[in-house]
Structure 1
Amino acid sequence: MKGLFSALLVPFDEEGNIKEQGLREIVRQNIDVQQVDGLYVNGSSGENFMLTTEQKKAVFKIASEENNGDVKLIAQVGSINLDEAIELGKYATELGYDSLSAVTPFYYKFTFDEIKNYYNAITEATGNNMIIYAIPALTGVSVSMDQFDELFQNEKIIGVKYTDANFFMLERLRKKYPNKLIYSGFDEMLIYGVVSGVDGAIGSTFNINGKRAKQIMELCHAGKVAEAYEVQHVTNDLIEKVLDLGLYQTLKEVLNVKGIDAGICKKPMHSFDSGKKGEVKQLVTDFDL
């Protein structure tokens, strides 16, 4: 379960339907071209929180079929509807996903006991392993060290997708829990996570820039940190331009330019500004995507 995982993009048509063939193409792009070690399915990058339960199941099924055992699969099932999270967790487990993941429950100001019970309920009902998805900038939920101590008492909670800029806590987690999986969640800070000893990374830009991200990891592991920084600089130049144009819209448009049917984003997200397609074509050329 170590290595680089793409947070899988999901293509939609104008009516918000999943484009099945396009999704299969994106799965293959990640595995065959970007050479990722795994896929993180139905996360933020898959626009998960705007999907119906049946659409989420369809994404799990299509991704699993197309992967066909090639790489590891993590199913993000988190929801503030616990019944839905358990239903999705059971479904993904039946499909053979290697682990579940779940975002911390958000919107309502849940107590820590409520958050802990949520994770325990999912793991108990599904029998599968769990990777906590900690992303306080979007959920408003920060997990303290003492709280991680409690969560990790559940042996089924095998790690965390750590999308947080608090690298002091990351170092403390790594030191205290050498046997738990820790994944870096910020693509633009990948090198700092690798130097801190993470087991892998999960990110949206790996759908188009996975090879470069793997290079950062490999260089760091070989002790060539200065060279890894040079690759991170190039990566962050790309990320800056992608963010300027619109994150998910631009990632999809890069794939569209490359002949992969990545569709558009699901409403209420805007579609890509077609007037900027030339800038995306230039990105593809300039960064050898």
Structure 2
Amino acid sequence: MVDFGSLITAMVTPFDDKGNIDWNQTALLIDELIENQQTDSLVICGTTGESPTLDDTEKLAMFKFAVEHAAGRCKIIAGTGSNNTAHSIHLTKEAELCGVDAVLLVTPYYNKPNQEGLFRHFEAIASATKLPVMLYNVPSRTVVGLSAATTLRLAQIPNVVATKECGPLDQLAGIVSGAPNDFIVYTGDDSSALPALAVGARGIVSVASHIVGKSMKQMISSYLQGNVQEAGKLYRELLPLFKVLFECPNPVGVKYALGEKGLNVGSVRLPLVPPSEDEAMHIRNLLQ
């Protein structure tokens, strides 16, 4: 079974003052997430990495850089999904050449395929690569949702090994109940981290782990070791930060928080904008 660990960070893409990728800060961020925030795997160029405003050249450079800089210290999962099946296949094949460990494939947005279209989209990409595939269901962003039944159908494909599920908790629970033993279910919602563990998720693909990864890892470990009270205490302490980071569109909040913590990952690309003064104040107050 492919093991991505229990804590996966959906990594931001650091930019310099001109809006270009800042490679020095990218290296520092990768080190921080692995060494101090205890992340087991990194998603590169996912939604939190501002994938909609990165071109393919930038994405492939990020994939290659992350593989080389991580140097086996964690798994590298490349965000290669889009709403264009042919383009997703092309980018997935190129990511495979970069040496990534797996790919993350988001549900196609805007063109709103039905469940059969979703199945065939993911099936086509999975059949075009030897890499392990993690599905990504996030209906709040893509409008279309991958049903539990379609997820379980896709789980029968040998290299479709995991899902990042941002649908309702009962859907996540249904996938856990019906999936093969070697199919891994993650929540993609920080605020659902502990409830998802309680219904059988392996862990979380997280944004807040940029800042509080060590505490999140402790929460996960406490729960899995049977110390539910300690896990609950940690979850309640972390929950306000989980929520405030999403008061503005992701990754605006977490990029600002990283800057406040001394990691200058830069701002965001349009159409995203920096946090308002009220949003920034809320983040600063919680970080303190």
TM-score by length of 2: 0.91
**Offset of residue 132 of structure 1:** 0.6
Whether the aligned pair in 2 keeps the contact of 1:39 and 1:72 (CA below 8 Å) is yes
The alpha-carbon deviation at position 260 of structure 1 amounts to: 1.8
Report if the CA contact (8 A) 2:77-2:103 is conserved: yes
The 3-state SS of whatever aligns with 1:27 is helix
The 8 Å contact of residues 160 and 181 in structure 1, kept in 2 or not, is answered as yes
Q: How does 1:92-103 map to 2 (within 5 A)?
A: 92-103=95-106
Q: 2:280 & 2:218 partners in 1: Cα distance?
A: 28
2:203 and 2:221 map into 1 onto residues whose CA distance is: 11
Q: 2:133 aligns with which of 125, 130, 134?
A: 130
**Counterpart contact for 1:53–1:84, Cα < 8 Å:** no
Deviation at 1:277, TM superposition (A): 6.0
Q: CA deviation at 1:14?
A: 4.4
Q: How does 1:98-247 map to 2 (within 5 A)?
A: 98-164=101-167, 166-177=168-179, 178-244=181-247, 247=250
Residue 180 of structure 1 deviates from its aligned partner by 0.4
Q: 1:176 to 1:279 in 2, by over 3 A?
A: closer
**Take 2:171 and 2:258, find their aligned partners in 1: how far apart are those partners?**
35
Q: Are the counterparts in 2 of residues 6 and 203 from structure 1 also a CA contact under 8 Å?
A: yes
Which segments of 5 or more consecutive residues in structure 2 lack a partner in the other structure? Answer: none
Q: Give distance in 2, aligned partners of 1:148 and 1:278.
A: 40
Distance 2:238 2:109 in 1: 31
2:72 aligns with 69
Aligned partner of 1:42 in structure 2 is 45
Structure holding more helix per residue: 1
Encode CA deviations 1:155-214: one digit per residue, 9 max, x unaligned. 1111211112x2222222112223201111110110011111111210111111111111
In 2: Cα distance, 1:277 partner to 1:147 partner:
40
Aligned residues: 284
User: For residues 39-63 of structure 1, what are the alpha-carbon distances to aligned partners after superposition, in whole Å with 9 as ceiling and x for unaligned?
Assistant: 1111111011121111111221222
CA offsets, 1:199-233, max 9 Å, x none?
12101111111111111111111112222111111
Unpaired runs of at least 5, structure 1: none
What residue identity is the alignment partner of 1:242?
L
> Which segments of structure 1 move beyond 4 Å, counting only runs of 4 or more?
273-282
Number of the residue aligned with 1:33: 36
2:152–2:178 CA contact under 8 A, matched in 1: no
Displacement of 1:276: 7.1
- TM-score, normalised with respect to structure 1: 0.91
* Seq. identity, %: 27
Q: Distance in 1 between matches of 2:10 and 2:124?
A: 25
Matched-pair contact (CA < 8 Å) for 1:80–1:106: yes
Letter of the structure 1 residue corresponding to residue 171 of structure 2: M
State the AA in 1 paired with 2:109: F
Amino acid at match of 2:108: P
Partners of 2:244 and 2:103 lie apart in 1 by: 32
Q: Which residue of 2 aligns with 1:248?
A: 251
Structure 1 pair 264–134 and aligned structure 2 pair: CA distance change class (3 A) = same
